[in-house]
């Protein structure tokens, strides 16, 4: 056997000694590397930068002053953001479960299509459209005026109120929520539904006792993703505004960057939003890992 053949035989022997589990681990790491890199570059690194800058003052010192100022100025807006996001999420889940259940039990392709339209509408367009639709002399009031439901001299408006903001957020997210919930409900075997029907269960009982428990994993994922999206929403709150002066946190963050140029407080607000959403993100990751 010459030297070349000896070297190839030795290389083959070393390769054969590498456990298959290591090869599998290397293959898995190679597949996951692009996704992990994107998360690291576009999420982890900016978060670390924001976290670091949130403690830095204008003179370069590291203190909690930015957080103190953020809570002093925007504590009310923090609670308002949580309230709006929580209320919107509750209404969204209720609507998506009821609609998803009805569409699972009785196919209505056109209705399903209508509720998926918000998926393709940009946030800015939703904010502007809702502002026009809900304005004092907007589309909704113009349609209701002939019914004599209110005094034309005192036209009600929910365009710049908490109710208007909640309606806009729910409408924008209903398509995404319904898509996931309906997918989970359609994964439930018909035999369960037929067995319940044979026992006299109606549509509401089928949704409450069969579809909802069996689709709770997907509903939890919907809750996590939509809550995080609502917490970080900027375009709709900026377009809808608030008549009583309260704002969502992302609007406050924009104000600090553009008008006050106080990047320390802006980063502090961003970190606070991250921390509020972190529990939801951890829950989501656990669900993905179990799937």
HEC per residue, 129-194: HHHHHHCCCCHHHHHHHHHCCCCCCCCCCCCCCHHHHHHHHHHHHHHHHHHHHHHHHHCCCHHHHH
Percent of the chain with pLDDT strictly greater than 90: 25
Looking at CATH, the fold of the domain delimited by 74-290 is given as: MetI-like fold (1.10.3720)
Pick left, alpha or beta for residue 92 (phi over 0 → left; psi -120 to 50 → alpha; otherwise beta).
alpha
Q: Quick one: pLDDT at residue 98?
A: 93
Task: Decide if pLDDT at 159 tops 80.
Answer: no
Higher pLDDT, 214 or 153: 214
- Supply the pTM of this predicted model: 0.81
Work out the pLDDT band at 12, boundaries 50, 70, 90.
low
Nearest to 165 by CA among 251, 275, 253: 251
Q: Quick one: pLDDT at residue 107?
A: 78
Work out the pLDDT band at 119, boundaries 50, 70, 90.
confident
Q: Name the range with the highest mean pLDDT among 20-24, 117-121, 177-181, 277-281.
A: 177-181
Work out the pLDDT band at 3, boundaries 50, 70, 90.
low
281 is written with which tokens? 């993100």
Question: What would the pLDDT profile of 221-263 be if each residue is shown by its tens digit?
Answer: 888 889 988 988 888 898 887 656 788 999 999 999 999 889 9
Nearest to 242 by CA among 93, 127, 138, 114: 127
Give the separation between CA 33 and CA 38, rounded to whole angstroms: 9
**Count of Cβ atoms closer than 10 Å to residue 211 Cβ:** 26
Are the C-beta atoms of 241 and 224 separated by less than 8 Å? no
Q: What 3-state class would DSSP assign to 55?
A: coil
Work out the pLDDT band at 99, boundaries 50, 70, 90.
very high
């Amino acid at each position: 056997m010459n030297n070349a053949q000896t070297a190839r035989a030795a290389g083959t022997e070393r390769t054969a000694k590498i456990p298959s589990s290591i090869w599998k681990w290397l293959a898995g790491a190679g597949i996951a590397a692009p996704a992990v890199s994107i998360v690291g570059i576009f999420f982890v690194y900016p978060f670390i930068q924001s976290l670091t800058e949130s403690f830095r003052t204008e003179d370069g010192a590291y203190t909690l002053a930015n957080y103190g100022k953020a809570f002093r100025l925007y504590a009310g807006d923090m609670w308002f953001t949580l309230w709006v996001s929580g209320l919107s999420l509750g209404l969204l889940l209720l609507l998506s479960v009821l609609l998803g259940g009805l569409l699972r039990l009785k196919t209505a392709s056109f209705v399903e299509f209508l509720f998926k339209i918000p998926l393709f509408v940009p946030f800015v367009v939703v904010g502007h459209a809702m502002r026009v639709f809900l304005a004092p002399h907007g589309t909704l009031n113009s349609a209701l005026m002939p019914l004599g439901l209110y005094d034309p001299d005192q036209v009600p408006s929910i365009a710049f109120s908490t109710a208007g903001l909640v309606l806009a957020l729910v409408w924008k997210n209903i398509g995404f929520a319904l898509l996931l919930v309906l997918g989970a409900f359609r994964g439930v075997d018909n035999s369960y539904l037929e067995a319940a029907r044979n026992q006299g269960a109606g549509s509401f009982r089928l949704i409450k006792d069969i579809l909802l428990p069996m689709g709770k994993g997907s509903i939890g994922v919907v809750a996590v993703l939509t809550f995080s999206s609502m917490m970080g929403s900027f375009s709709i709150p900026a377009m809808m505004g608030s008549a009583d002066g309260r704002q969502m946190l992302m609007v406050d963050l924009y104000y600090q960057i553009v008008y006050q140029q106080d990047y320390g407080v802006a980063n502090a607000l961003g970190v606070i939003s991250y921390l509020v959403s972190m529990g939801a993100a951890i829950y989501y990751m656990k669900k993905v890992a179990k799937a």
